[in-house]
Homo-oligomer: A and B are copies of this chain.
Amino acid sequence: MSTPFSSSKDWLSRLANHGYRLTEPRRVIVEIIAASDRALNPLEVFDLGRDACPGLGLVTVYRTLEKLEDLGLVQRVHQADGCHAYLRAANGHEHILLCNQCGQAVFFAGDDLTSLLERVARQSGFEIQEHWLQLHGLCARCRDSVR
């Protein structure tokens, strides 16, 4: 069970190693996503980003998120209302557990679906290449506050 928090230092050096320049808007955006415990959409990143960098443009948020996704540092999260929110990417084979109330994201590992996948492959004739698994519920705090 790992928190979504991540080191923004690492991400910045990854950007630099790939030939991207280190700019103030990028530092701010990377810091926001790395420090967030829930998925954020571009507008949310923009609003948070303007606190630290008043001139920030929404375009830059879109462009930076796209680069971070290409580098495998962030991932899109699929939710009931769409898939426009970003979270740090999984480390290895992890899946996400999301709080339906506050959005808090927690990563977990150790799922073993091999026997299910084998059975479904056999019965369907498909060659199974990937599995998407996502859990939804209430975090401890929200469960208490709801009742």
Interface residues of A, Cβ cutoff 8 Å to B: 1, 78, 82-83, 97, 99-100, 106, 108, 110-113, 116-117, 119-121, 123-140, 143
Contacts and interface: CB of A to CB of B under 8 A. Distances in A.
A42 B119 CA distance: 33
B108 A123 contact: yes
Contacts of A120: 1, 97, 108, 135
5 contacts: A1-B120, A100-B129, A126-B138, A131-B133, A132-B133
Quickly give the copy total for this chain: 2
A116 to B, nearest CB: 5
Contacts of A121: 137
B126 A99 contact: yes
Nearest to A106: B124
B111 A126 contact: no
A125 B108 contact: no
Contact of A135 (B78, B130, B134, B135): B130
Given A97-B124, A131-B133, 5 more contacts: A1-B120, A1-B123, A82-B83, A127-B137, A130-B135
A64 B121 CA distance: 34
